[in-house]
A and B are shown apart, each in its own frame.
Chain A
Amino acid sequence: MSAELNTVKKALAAANLAEVEVIEKQGALVLEGQVKNWQQYLEAGYAAAGQDFRGVVNDLEVEGLENFKQQCESSPEDFSLERYSFDVVVIGGGVIGCAIARELTRYNVKVALLEKESDLARHTSGRNNGMIHSTMAVKLGTKKYLYNLRGNRMYRKVAEELGFDLKWPGSFAMLDKNWQLLLGPYARRIASKKGVQGFRVLSKGKVKELEPNAWEEQTGSFYMPETGVVDPYQVTIAYAENAMQNGTTIYLNTKVLGFEKDNNRITAVRTNRGTLQAGVIINAAGIWADHVAEMAGDRFYTIHPRKGVIAILDKKTGSSQSYILGRAQLSSEAKTKGGGLVPLLDGNILAGPTADEVPGREDYSTETHELQHILDHHLVLNKTLQQSDIITYFAGTRACTFEEDFIIEISEYVENLVHAAGIQSPGLASAPAIAVDVRDMAAEILKNKMDLKENPDFNPKRKLAPQPVRLSLKERNCLIENRPSYGQIVCRCELVSEGEIVDAIHAPLPARTLDAVKRRARAGMGRCQGGFCTPAVINILARETGRQVTEICKHEPGSVLITDRTRRKGCEQSAH
């Protein structure tokens, strides 16, 4: 390996980072020392990647940045989970963890899923563009490619079973120089190699015909019909609810603090709510997966966050666009697909995401220049869109490794640990396939310890609450007659009824915050951004959960919406 260590040292020297120390630990490259800024931290990480090591652990300190490695603060402590025992403990309530939990319930195993936040999909899974990518933009030979290909093809069935919405608008990767059309035959060959079904090269005129409002500067486009769109939050919830239906227990506000080990085997998981016995541990901790790996004693990668800002446009823009619109990324070195415009399921258009390397893993603040990028690079791809169509914007972070590939494997150093880490784009598209493989890896480990059988009661179909807007008039009236609250609209922009909000609050995984209600039932997602419905939703939450309004939070403990009662208590009112 020393030859390869030397290669890395040379690469670092070439990047003026000769002072960075490189050592090998547990088959991984570890970078130590100090660099001047975040850019150098990243450069060192990338310079070390691509060799025949298990991964890059970037332990460099950065001048003036002291807290970037620190985890978010711990949730309140109790011992409610002390001595519970599970065959499998899944760490992380994003789409990956929830999909894995659901797939595991096909076996006769007891599964727990731990999530440190007060709701699922609070981080990367709830902060992305919801695309089910074609494989055109991923590198052959990577795990990203393999899982993307399989995952994409699994989505139809999963959507049908779990009852979430899915559409296949197809995507355009538009070109802006005439000579680029000469790449057509080459692109076709690549598409065929990568299994991109239905790939076509479209002339400028054809693009105009199919998408009359497309970018003025386009000179033609690659077209990938098998690009889909889902609501990533709904997919996560769907997987989680079906997992719960089939016996999984989900613990929110539960953060992993460490592991108890017996030689190379984890015996228990220490959390802020007590210590659980565990047979197999799945690390699906997203942006914090490297911390979990470190606590488990198998540290061979470092996650660095790549922030993406997304803007959501008013529903009335939806009719101006049929396809997903983006620019072709002709360089294979690009680390992102560049973002674009995605027609969402509910009629809005999504613009973005941007891509900026930042130190803060949960830094979801947006900046002026990021929004400007969306205006300049994304909004122009549909010439009818204007800045004033933007109703909201937010940020998410991608959980990137320096190898820029997924890590889906049984640990080499801890015999009952499985990593599902480094999941960045196209992670959502890959989730169904990753879940199946991780399930099999867990089964592999479990087989030696228990009599693993199929779960005879497994039901792949998720039970759904009534959705009034999808019913015929007659059915809807029947529903309203039985429960009048389905007839009472609370969110005027998205036409969400009180009944649907109550259902979300009492769902298998209860929505207990304003944002959880918003994401579950869409109340507050519209153009007034909760201006009108917020008071009513606060009241419904307080009433349904038996809490004071001053205890109702926006998204996490501490995010109270109402600080006090007024001096004279006001007229006590119910939701209306």
Chain B
Amino acid sequence: MHTDVLVIGAGPAGLAAAAAAAEHGAEVLLVDRESRPGGILKQCIHDGFGVIRYEEKLTGPEYAYRDIEAVRAYGLRVLNNTFVLDLKQSVDGFSLLLQNPIDGAFRVDTKALVAANGCRERTSRQVFIHGDRPAGIYSAGTAQNLINLHGYLPGRKVVILGSGDIGMIMARRLTLEGAEVAGVYEIKDEPSGLTRNRVQCLDDYNIPLYLNTTVTRVHGTKRVTGVSVAAVGADLKPLPGSETLVPCDTLLLSVGLIPENDILEPLALEFDAKTGGPVVDQRMMTSVPGLFSCGNATHVNDMVDYVSESGFNAGRAAANYCQHGGSQGSVEVVSGNNLLYAVPQRLVSGEEAAIYFRSDKTIDRVILVAQAAGKELFREKYLRIRPPEMQKIVLQPLSPEVESVEIGLEEVT
């Protein structure tokens, strides 16, 4: 089998990429591991999706439905229940070994490849919780899947570690389903999710949020019987003597997401240690020509609207690549003062570029400045900037002599 653009993943990024590539004249194959397209949106039955793109508050399935309809309208090929078993570069693109229950295992060659694999959740072991391994420890996303897609309640009395968005959303969801949420515990001194989620999911339901506190130990051998929680010091290490026991039968973890790019490993592409995803330019091209990355596989976004945006960019660029070739832009984006990271990390000159960034801490009254060789390209004031809330700016096309752009946040003194 052969195609122009193969898109891996039918979540919001992959759906957008597939539609955009088809719109720009490419033959597209969309491959997804699940039985229905929509990715993780399928289980996100709360609202708040699409506020930028549609100026509406949609649920996850509603948001996905619009993209699925768009993909259907192009009549492109979609393979469900399909896994990528092997991936390598070939003379004129990429060669993939795919497998599904209907077609078995088979090879597909493609000129361009869009990797929209999404992300996975960090586990209790990755935040070094000790004790035995009883039943009742779930990541927040797994609990969301169990409740919203299967109608299963993972527990009756729940402690949530981490105030990521999914954690707070699950606190509300569990409460609505009749479970008791004993509290949300956050090791940092502020919630790590969006403010609106704190208000709508915790405050409105009287679910306590404990800051500067973490879970150190799980009790129980069969099923969780409780967790030890402890206050932490400035170094985020538990303070001796501050441990208390919170009885519960379930521990949910919302302690961060990791972009999933493991299947790209054989391609030896450049990664950004700060985002956990590949280094891309504004067309979402990676350091491997013809390989594009988008959505939460590139970096973990806060809003689905941005995920779709990167998908459109990747899909359009992949279609163009099939006709004109090309390689990653060479202008380096340096993330400077007070920035956690900025994406894209490279730019192609002569084209407008959206840059997404997060600050490394909460800062009041700052100015974002983008400059090249001492010349200011862009400036914007923010009253308050928080790491959970991603920001977006748009840079005008760069002139060809620019080699690098530095972006930083300057505190107003």
Residues of A within 8 A of B (CB): 316, 362, 364-368, 371, 388, 390-394, 473, 476-477, 480-481, 484-489, 492-493, 495, 514, 527-532, 534-535, 538-539, 549, 553-573, 576
* Contact B153 A531, beta carbon cutoff 8 Å: no
A372 to B247, CA, bound (A): 27
A535 to B105, CA, bound (A): 25
B349 at the interface (CB under 8 A from A): no
Q: How far is the CB of A99 from chain B (nearest CB, A)?
A: 27
4 tightest A-B CB contacts, nearest first: A570-B151, A554-B135, A484-B101, A477-B104
A553 to B136, CA, bound (A): 10
Given contacts A492-B33, A567-B177, contact A476 B135 (CB under 8 A): no
Binary contact readout B129-148 vs A (1 if CB under 8 angstroms, 0 otherwise): 01111111011011001111
Task: Collect the chain B residues with CB atoms within 8 Å of residue A473's CB.
Answer: 97, 105
B173-221: which have CB < 8 Å to A? 177-178, 217, 221
Q: How far is the CB of B87 from chain A (nearest CB, A)?
A: 13
B413 at the interface (CB under 8 A from A): no
Extra inter-chain contacts (6) besides given A484-B101, A559-B223, A562-B152, CB under 8 Å: A316-B262, A371-B130, A473-B105, A527-B262, A561-B154, A567-B177
A473 to B104, CA, bound (A): 9
* Contact A559 B99, beta carbon cutoff 8 Å: no
Identify A569's interface contact among B81, B101, B151, CB under 8 A: B151
* Contact A489 B223, beta carbon cutoff 8 Å: no
Identify which of B65-73, B120-128, B312-320, B376-384 touches chain A. Answer: B120-128
Interface bracket on B: 35 or more
Task: Collect the chain B residues with CB atoms within 8 Å of residue A568's CB.
Answer: 151
A368 to B230, CA, bound (A): 14
B34 at the interface (CB under 8 A from A): yes
* Contact B134 A489, beta carbon cutoff 8 Å: no
B217-250: which have CB < 8 Å to A? 217, 221-223, 249-250
* Contact A528 B120, beta carbon cutoff 8 Å: yes
Q: How far is the CB of A305 from chain B (nearest CB, A)?
A: 15
B344 at the interface (CB under 8 A from A): no
* Contact A393 B99, beta carbon cutoff 8 Å: no
Identify B104's interface contact among A487, A489, A572, CB under 8 A: A487
B83 at the interface (CB under 8 A from A): yes
A495 to B97, CA, bound (A): 13
* Contact A562 B100, beta carbon cutoff 8 Å: no
* Contact A484 B134, beta carbon cutoff 8 Å: no
Closest to B107 in A: A473
- 9 A-B pairs within 8 Å (CB atoms) are namely A393-B125, A477-B105, A484-B101, A495-B83, A531-B120, A534-B146, A559-B135, A562-B152, A571-B149
A412 to B144, CA, bound (A): 60
**Of B101, B147, B154, most A-chain CB atoms within 10 Å:** B101
B155 at the interface (CB under 8 A from A): yes
* Contact B105 A563, beta carbon cutoff 8 Å: no
Q: How far is the CB of B235 from chain A (nearest CB, A)?
A: 14
Closest to A572 in B: B151
* Contact A566 B147, beta carbon cutoff 8 Å: yes
* Contact A563 B222, beta carbon cutoff 8 Å: no
Given contacts A487-B104, A489-B83, A489-B99, contact A535 B152 (CB under 8 A): yes
Identify A528's interface contact among B101, B123, B146, CB under 8 A: B123
* Contact B81 A576, beta carbon cutoff 8 Å: yes
B79-134: which have CB < 8 Å to A? 81, 83, 85, 97, 99-106, 120-121, 123, 125-126, 128, 130-134
Task: Collect the chain B residues with CB atoms within 8 Å of residue A573's CB.
Answer: 149-150
* Contact A390 B104, beta carbon cutoff 8 Å: no
**Of B104, B156, B222, most A-chain CB atoms within 10 Å:** B104
Task: Collect the chain A residues with CB atoms within 8 Å of residue B221's CB.
Answer: 362, 364
A565 to B153, CA, bound (A): 6
A228 to B117, CA, bound (A): 37
Q: How far is the CB of B278 from chain A (nearest CB, A)?
A: 15
Identify B151's interface contact among A366, A480, A530, A571, CB under 8 A: A571
B234-271: which have CB < 8 Å to A? 249-250, 262, 265
A488 to B146, CA, bound (A): 20
Identify A531's interface contact among B83, B142, B150, CB under 8 A: B142
Closest to B134 in A: A559
Task: Collect the chain A residues with CB atoms within 8 Å of residue B147's CB.
Answer: 566, 570
* Contact B101 A480, beta carbon cutoff 8 Å: yes
